[in-house]
Homo-oligomer: A and B are copies of this chain.
């Protein structure tokens, strides 16, 4: 199960948002074997624009992920910082692709 999250945050909260997202991602990848990656990038020319490539082992891993304390903390902390959130369910072109 995978998707792309396109997120724009309020400039005022950029540093708080970055630190909350970083903490959430590091905890998820470390503690959850079913979270295969949460690869987050921000645009060089507009650091308030984030894209996250989210890959989960299966749907159950995703369901477990959104019930973890670290995800709930991230979601509640950042709710007021996010200007827009677009979630796009995706399929990989080359299954099993990694990062060297």
Q: Which residues of B contact A47 (CB under 8 A)?
A: 91
Instruction: Provide the bound-state CA to CA distance between A89 and B100, in Å.
Output: 20
How far apart sit A37 and B99, CA to CA, in the bound complex (Å)?
5
Contact flags (1/0) for A21-52 with B, using CB distance below 8 Å? 11001100100010111111111110101110
Contact A100 B36, beta carbon cutoff 8 Å: yes
Instruction: Report whether over half of chain A's contact residues are helix, strand or loop; otherwise say mixed.
Output: strand
Given contacts A37-B98, A99-B98, contact A90 B2 (CB under 8 A): no
- Could you tell me which A residues sit within 8 Å of B by CB distance? 2, 4, 18, 21-22, 25-26, 29, 33, 35-45, 47, 49-51, 53, 55, 88-94, 97-100
